[in-house]
Amino acid sequence: MRKYLIETGTGTDFHDADPTKCAVRAVTDAIRRCTLIGLHECQLISSRKEMAVKIKIGVPFPEKVIQEEVLNVIPFGKKEIEVIEGGLLEEGGLLKDGTRDHIMMAVTAVTVMVP
């Protein structure tokens, strides 16, 4: 497989600090900027099913990411995901009970490959 496109994205959750939500938002952010023009015109593929899409995500608490939910963001192609420790976790606002919520951020690189 040859790399065709690499795009990055970020996803943030300002209150719940949910790593899956952050990961989904990061992948969504990345693919919003992707236009796969030329794949058919240049005869790189005959079907979108031939593409492979690799997602690598850095997020706090990577073991808590529900990978299936993140993969569902990608509309086509053979999908794979790697979730690693990374991103950002910061104290957020003060809550009524005196505790603080947390702000979480995930970062991702989405790579599209063709045969």
For residue 89, which of 109, 59, 63 has the smallest C-alpha distance?
Answer: 59
User: What is the rounded CA–CA span in Å between residue 65 and residue 7?
Assistant: 21
This prediction's pTM: 0.91
List, for residues 7-28, the tens digit of each pLDDT value: 999 999 998 899 999 999 999 9
User: What is the rounded CA–CA span in Å between residue 28 and residue 64?
Assistant: 19
Among 3-7, 41-45, 109-113, the range scoring the smallest mean pLDDT is 41-45
If pLDDT is split at 50, 70 and 90, which confidence band does 99 have?
confident
Domains and CATH numbers, the chain: 2-114 (3.30.1330.20)
